[in-house]
């Protein structure tokens, strides 16, 4: 069965420091990969996605993620974080099975940016 693993439940970091949020997936078939961000008491917003082509994808607010097929990873990085980046981040995998294309989420990583 396909699954998504986010090893870190919380990542504390100081403002302007770099950060990496890890995501690994297990799948025997090709996948599409997504990162969503959730601010407190809100829904999820798409941050970035990998569908095909360049393995490095970027968001408009400075985050980037690299698809590594050999390591089955899709880690999220930002070179310099801001207080406003404090949120929970979810990695998700889109797989195909039967009559539906399910979106499978990891358990989330809380990014806590401290001044």
Partner 1 sequence: DGGITQSPKYLFRKEGQNVTLSCEQNLNHDAMYWYRQDPGQGLRLIYYSQIVNDFQKGDIAEGYSVSREKKESFPLTVTSAQKNPTAFYLCASSSSQGLQETQYFGPGTRLLVL
Site for partner 1 in 15-34 (CB under 8 A): 32, 34
The token pair at 87 is 């949120």
Site for partner 1 in 69-108 (CB under 8 A): 90, 94, 96, 99-103, 105-108
Other CB atoms within 10 A of residue 20 CB: 13
Phi–psi pair at 72, nearest 5 degrees:
45, 55
Site for partner 1 in 50-69 (CB under 8 A): 51
Q: What angle do CA 31, 1, 35 make, to 5 degrees?
A: 40
41 part of the interface to partner 1, by CB under 8 A: yes
Residues in contact with partner 1 by CB under 8 A are 9, 32, 34, 36, 41-46, 49, 51, 90, 94, 96, 99-103, 105-108
């Amino acid at each position: 069965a396909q699954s998504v693993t986010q090893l870190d439940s919380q990542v504390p970091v100081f403002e302007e420091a770099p950060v990496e949020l890890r995501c690994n997936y297990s799948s025997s078939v090709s996948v599409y990969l997504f990162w969503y961000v959730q601010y407190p008491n809100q829904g999820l917003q798409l941050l970035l996605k990998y569908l095909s082509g360049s393995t490095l994808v970027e968001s408009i607010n400075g985050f980037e993620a690299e698809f590594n097929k050999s390591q089955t990873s899709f880690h999220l990085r930002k070179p310099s974080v801001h207080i406003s980046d404090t949120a929970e981040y979810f990695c998700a995998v889109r797989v195909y099975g039967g009559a539906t294309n399910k979106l499978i989420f990891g358990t989330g990583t809380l990014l806590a940016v401290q001044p």
